[in-house]
Amino acid sequence: MKIKEHIPNILTLLNLLSGCIAIVFIFEDQLAMASYLLGLAALFDFLDGFFARLLKVQSPIGKDLDSLADMVSFGLVPGMILFKLIGYSIGISINTGIITLVPYIAFLIPLFSALRLAKFNNDERQTDVFIGLPTPANALLIASFPLILIQQSTLVGINILPIQSLFLSTVFLIVMSVLLSYLLVAELPLLSLKFKTFNWKENKIRFLFLGISCVLLILLYYVAIPVIILLYILLSLFFQKSNI
């Protein structure tokens, strides 16, 4: 077997490794570090698919391995981050011995992520579009919550204290747990960001999205991530409607 055939799977395993290390940081209450590692996992997830297509070494094993890695990095890790945040929001640490069922609502995320990944592997419609919110996008959105909480300013001088207080709200976090779980499996056609070519005509909506996203990140830092996910959904809906 040629070395190039192993490259995508190695990148997938690096995705999984990043997720595993993120879990360690979550147990140590270092949610920001866990979020950074989740971002690193997302990078490896993008690269494994990119190199599989570039090197033309896609395989059923690679597809299954990718889903298994994604289940940890983009299913379990964001669920654990939300679990911790909900616990913090009601003044409860899992190390205090105080028992409550409320934070466990966060584990809807890994449950529905597993369902999302299983549907993706068996849904022939999901070649050029995604049906439901992709697990990496969902995970990155949740990973932005701890980062927003440690953010101090934006380039454009927006007061982010009201935004931070929102991410410390138990009700908001519970609503997000339920809403995002639904979006993972919703019959909602969303744009695939996979580039088969770099031709402008075929990818203009993707280039537009990436360009706007970069500008938002420069201006708003971590606060931009929820805005980018919302933009992704809205652009996808517009794109689908314009192609009916």
Question: What number is the average pLDDT over the span 219-242?
Answer: 87
Contact partners, residue 93, CB within 8 Å, separation at least 6? 87
Contact 91, 65 (CB under 8 A): no
Q: What is the pLDDT of residue 197?
A: 60
pLDDT of residue 203: 73
**Domain 3-242 sits in which CATH superfamily?**
CDP-alcohol phosphotransferase transmembrane (TM) domain (1.20.120.1760)
**C-beta neighbour count of 162 within 10 angstroms:** 8
User: Rounded CA gap, 121 and 137, in Å?
Assistant: 17
Identify which has the larger pLDDT, 221 or 153. Answer: 221
Above 80 in pLDDT, residue 109?
yes
Mean pLDDT of 98-116: 90
- Under the banding of pLDDT at 50, 70 and 90, the label for residue 93 is very low
Residue from 73, 74, 71, 54 nearest 8 by CA: 54
Q: Give the torsion through C-alpha atoms of 39, 40, 42, 45, to 10 deg.
A: 180
Q: Letter for the amino acid at 52?
A: A
- pLDDT mean over 193-219: 81
Do the beta carbons of residue 151 and residue 160 sit within 8 Å?
A: yes
Of the candidate ranges 10-19, 39-48, 53-62, the one whose mean pLDDT is the lowest: 53-62
> What's the chain's Rg over C-alpha atoms?
18
The helix/strand count (H/E) of the chain reads as 10, 2
